[in-house]
Amino acid sequence: MNFARRLAVLAMAFVVLFSLLFTRLWFVQVASGTLYEEEASRQQLDAERTTAARGEIRDSGGILLATSRIVPEMIVHRSEIAPEDEEALIQQLGALFNLPTIEVRALFEQAGPVIEFSMGIVTPEQMSYVLKNTEDFPGIAIHDRPIRVYPEGSLFSHVIGHIGRPSPDDVAAAGPDLD
């Protein structure tokens, strides 16, 4: 076999291989493109805010003054709730938290267009009920949330400070300039 024939066979092999490659690329990008696009969109990351636990505070004798404890918190993901399911979910949450449905509906309306909001800390019984009946609670998730615990109560609050919502008396004492 002479050199020209070998070169022609090699060129034909490259043409066949590149034809196969381009055919497969066309199939992946054009023919099955929407399928792969949908699959890729399902695998995208969803950013979620988490609260970090704060460190312990101890006195010079090693007595614990402040620490964090993990508690379950119920989060409502509104983007996962179909509009026709919202009223049934409000009824379920009202029964679960022993609240009138008007108050639960007000929480939904107060959140407005926010994608997710907290229903608050749940008891182990409530958490167990929600996890067992997930089909009745669309868009509901239970997340761990650290809360600050002061074992000595307000005994050392003047030294270590205190984190929490202000009471109505605190707000009144701060005056009208508190914005």
DSSP letters for 31-53: ISHHHHHHHHHHT-------PPP
120-132 residue pLDDT tens = 788 888 888 888 8
Please, which residues have CB within 8 angstroms of residue 91's CB and are 6 or more apart in sequence? 101
- Bigger pLDDT: 72 or 162? 72
Please, which residues have CB within 8 angstroms of residue 77's CB and are 6 or more apart in sequence? 115, 116, 139, 140, 141
Percent of the chain with pLDDT over 70: 91
30-85 residue pLDDT tens = 888 888 888 888 777 666 667 778 889 888 888 898 888 888 888 888 778 888 88
Provide mean pLDDT across the span 108-136. Answer: 81
Query: Is the whole-model pTM more than 0.85?
Result: no
Backbone angles phi, psi at 62, to 5 degrees: 90, 5
**Residue 161's pLDDT is what?**
76
